Structure 1
Amino acid sequence: MLAFFVFAATAVQAAPVDVYRGTLGGSEVVLELRKPDADGELQGRYFYLRHGVDIPLKGTLNALAEALPLNDGWSRSQPELPIFANEQERSVKWNVAQQGDALTGEWVDGIHGKKLPLSLQRIAQYDPEKIAPRGVEAVTLAIVQGAGSGVSQDEVISAQSTPYDYLKLGEQKLEQGKEVVLAPDLAWRPVRDTRTKFWYPRLTRHPDAKILAQTNAVLEQRHWGMSLAALGCRSAIYRDNGPEAGTLGYFDHESIAVTYLSRAMMSVVESGATGCGGAHPNNHYDPFVLDLLQGGYMDFTRLFKGAKYGDYKLELSEQMQGFIRKAVGKYSKDDKECTEVLPSYMALMLDKPDKMSFVISGIGHAMGVCLGSGVSVPFKMLKPYIKPQAERYFQR
């Protein structure tokens, strides 16, 4: 089954889709339409900017039916999902005509007897298959997520490559949390999209304006990726009648913590148990460290003697691995059945005041209780393993 899923995720090719933006009644909407199939049928989706929840569409331009949510008090036995009409065959339809790059017409609610004008303009075209998760990522999402964003974690969410999803996020005004000031030139604050509810950090002060912008670009992309997944679970209410469909997939319970910030490094941890009907929740403890001297993610080979990146993870020198094992035995108070897997399932993070932690991350669901276990050591204990030119990273 998994082999078939991988093949399906990599082999399917589709024509580019058109993206439209405009109004439905007094609300701003974004629409995506695929090219018609052999019998002229169209498939697409749209969202209201204020909600960000995709609603499937299917039919012809003059009768484009809108999917109905699966929590409205009625159901069918083994329905073909999504459902585009209720048990009385009443439906909500878009009756539109195309004139060049414009779509104009009427939204007709045949269930509640309401009509609204529609007016949209084509603004972009892209191929969703080129940005979709593939291979291991696609299989993992199917198992632990149940509903994803449709955008690979390696893809930059932008107006050029992902115009439909970019419009869902890029113009949203964020709620601002209280600024955390560490020095006159060093601070951060939490922000959040009120539609997805969880807070995510942004750097607000740093002595290097370029580094500040690069850092926030990374944080924004991570924030957006999580928001898309949360909104994807909201949208699942049109194609899945499971208990998580229509929720935020527990992203609204996600914990995002800034564990360390200096002028040289920023350490953040994402942790929680997200999911939208997969085989099991995505229990995770995912630290990452940003380089505030050179920009982007920290390349730990800049810091440690003998470190290198293998096919899947950072590989530390034998000497440093020995140091970590000794530190775990001497200083860690966590369950030994957990910490004995270090450094096989390990992530590096930073903690106040001036400590580096070696913690369990990326381990299988069965050992999820071990996530975050590990050991913390003061920077000064790392000195024998740090490259001479990297000592500046460990100074405030």
Structure 2
Amino acid sequence: MALAFAVSASGLALAAPVDVYRGTLGGSEVVMELGRPRTDGAREGRYFYPRYGVDIPLKGPLNALAEAQPLTPELTEKLGADAPLFTDAEQRAVVWNVQQQGDGSLSGEWVDGIRGKKLPLKLKRIAHYDPEALEPKGVEAVTRAIVQGSGSGISQDVTISEKTAPYDYLRMSLQPLGQGKEVVLAPNLAWRPVRDARTQFWYPRLSRHPDAKILAQTNALLEQRHWAMSLDALACKSSIYLNLGPAAGSLGNYNDERIQVSYLSTALMSVVESGSTDCGGAHPNNHFNPFVLDLRKGGYMDFRRLFKDSRYGENGFEYADALVKKIAKVAAKQDADQGGAGGCTDYLAEFMVPMIETPAAVSFVISGIGHAMGACLGSGVSIAFKDFRPYIKPGAQRYLQP
């Protein structure tokens, strides 16, 4: 049942593998993905204009490759067909009439039979890949179907690159980013927000760090997270070709996403993604997702480097008993000071994620809790760096330098 909510960006079951083409439609740049011909010669695919990034489904033989029309209640009521729809109420269509050339490129004409316009088409084949290999599987697929609805169809474990996901790589890399004001903490330490105008939310990049290699690695990781969120937002906008749900054609509230750099030193960068995204899933994806980056070794912070006797077990990261007791003690005192007992801190042990919110304290906050307890997201306790000494490994204090 949950999987019924999942909709790919194009809404078409592309026969893997597919070819990726890049070229021009009239005076505009376009990128197209096209599957193999079926027994009747028909193909399925999608394309986008880089300045918009929205997938438009395609279907038909090469000489009559029809372009899907945005759904309207009137159109779906009159045609009574499953989406996407490739004609209007008068059975007129926008068609790509192209022929394959000897070098694998495509050329021909784009014919708008609805508005009466024709434009030349010229596309060069640039890549060949299997989109099915990128799809989320198992628990991830079910979870994303429930909370996302329409999504990019790319697993969170996939690196979006020119080789692995050439179509979506071009969708992200061809769009220049707006640059926000640099936030300078020291002559050799700073960050700045950047924004894709198509998806509107700001995301951080490290702009200064004493280690050029760490700076590049960190920004590559931040870029991947930024791209993944942007692709989901654009997939929601593309869903206007697939359904008439309340979120269809919108950015799924990604434009209201809040991305905060809660802490930055030469050793650690703590970032929080929070908001309430919704593109047709069973309920909004209310979330508070902190992550901490290791600016000494690169990549995500492995907290085994910091906390004594910690490890990864069957249920995820496991803290030492002494630290768990310390956190529980701080939480109990906090509840007492606030005149109550329990509440959100009752869930802290099960949904606890470390982050840094102030220049001299580590926080343990609730993240990933179920929809019904979404009000507890971000709740937690903080322990000052100076009080951490009994729980950290020898030499780990170099991470905890404001």
Q: TM class, shorter-chain normalised?
A: over 0.9
- Mapping 1:219-234, distance limit 5 Å: 219-234=222-237
Cα distance, 1:258 vs structure 2 = 0.3
- Mapping 1:81-230, distance limit 5 Å: 81-100=83-102, 101-230=104-233
Contact 1:5–1:139 (CA<8 Å) still a contact in 2?
Answer: no
What corresponds to 2:29 in structure 1? 28
Query: Secondary structure in 1 aligned to 2:347?
Result: coil
* Stretch deviating more after TM superposition (377-386 or 121-130): 377-386
Cα distance, 1:392 vs structure 2 = 0.7
* Stretch deviating more after TM superposition (264-273 or 348-357): 348-357
Q: Deviations over 1:185-225 (max 9, x none)?
A: 00000000000000000000000000000100110000000
What corresponds to 2:56 in structure 1? 55
- Mapping 1:262-341, distance limit 5 Å: 262-331=265-334, 333=338, 336-341=342-347
What corresponds to 2:263 in structure 1? 260
Partners of 1:31 and 1:335 in 2: CA distance? 58
Cα distance, 1:163 vs structure 2 = 0.1
Corresponding letter in the other structure for 1:144: V
Contact 2:5–2:280 (CA<8 Å) still a contact in 1?
Answer: no
What corresponds to 2:244 in structure 1? 241
Cα distance, 1:87 vs structure 2 = 1.3
What corresponds to 1:9 in structure 2? none
What corresponds to 2:359 in structure 1? 353
Structure 2-normalised TM-score? 0.94
Partners of 1:84 and 1:13 in 2: CA distance? 16
Contact 2:180–2:192 (CA<8 Å) still a contact in 1?
Answer: yes
Cα distance, 1:335 vs structure 2 = 7.9
Query: Secondary structure in 2 aligned to 1:82?
Result: coil
Partners of 2:247 and 2:59 in 1: CA distance? 24
Corresponding letter in the other structure for 2:351: Y
What corresponds to 1:388 in structure 2? 394
Cα distance, 1:3 vs structure 2 = 8.4
Partners of 1:5 and 1:254 in 2: CA distance? 22
Change (3 A) 1:3 1:220: closer
Contact 2:4–2:145 (CA<8 Å) still a contact in 1?
Answer: no
Cα distance, 1:342 vs structure 2 = 1.3
Partners of 2:295 and 2:16 in 1: CA distance? 41
Corresponding letter in the other structure for 1:368: G
Query: Secondary structure in 1 aligned to 2:160?
Result: coil
Cα distance, 1:15 vs structure 2 = 2.8
Given the alignment, which residue of 79, 82, 85 partners 2:81?
Answer: 79
What corresponds to 1:363 in structure 2? 369
Partners of 1:312 and 1:255 in 2: CA distance? 29
Change (3 A) 1:3 1:252: closer
Structure 1-normalised TM-score? 0.95
4+ residue stretches of structure 1 with deviation over 4 A?
A: 2-6, 332-335
Cα distance, 1:312 vs structure 2 = 4.4
Partners of 1:41 and 1:92 in 2: CA distance? 16
Q: Deviations over 1:111-153 (max 9, x none)?
A: 0001110000000000001011111111111111111111111
Partners of 1:193 and 1:283 in 2: CA distance? 22
Corresponding letter in the other structure for 1:352: T
Cα distance, 1:71 vs structure 2 = 3.5
Matched, 1:377 2:383: yes
Change (3 A) 1:200 1:344: same
Stretches of structure 1 lacking an aligned partner (at least 5 in a row)? 7-11
Q: Deviations over 1:217-242 (max 9, x none)?
A: 11000000000000000100000111
Cα distance, 1:326 vs structure 2 = 0.6
Query: Secondary structure in 2 aligned to 1:224?
Result: helix
Contact 1:234–1:248 (CA<8 Å) still a contact in 2?
Answer: yes
Query: Secondary structure in 2 aligned to 1:340?
Result: helix
Corresponding letter in the other structure for 2:300: Y
Partners of 2:138 and 2:186 in 1: CA distance? 45
Contact 2:3–2:141 (CA<8 Å) still a contact in 1?
Answer: no
Corresponding letter in the other structure for 1:183: A
Partners of 1:384 and 1:307 in 2: CA distance? 13
Partners of 2:161 and 2:372 in 1: CA distance? 36
Partners of 1:33 and 1:335 in 2: CA distance? 59
Q: Deviations over 1:41-62 (max 9, x none)?
A: 1000000011100000000000
Cα distance, 1:72 vs structure 2 = 8.0
Contact 2:99–2:108 (CA<8 Å) still a contact in 1?
Answer: yes
Query: Secondary structure in 2 aligned to 1:32?
Result: strand
Contact 2:259–2:272 (CA<8 Å) still a contact in 1?
Answer: yes
Partners of 2:30 and 2:261 in 1: CA distance? 35
What corresponds to 1:67 in structure 2? 68
Stretches of structure 2 lacking an aligned partner (at least 5 in a row)? 7-12
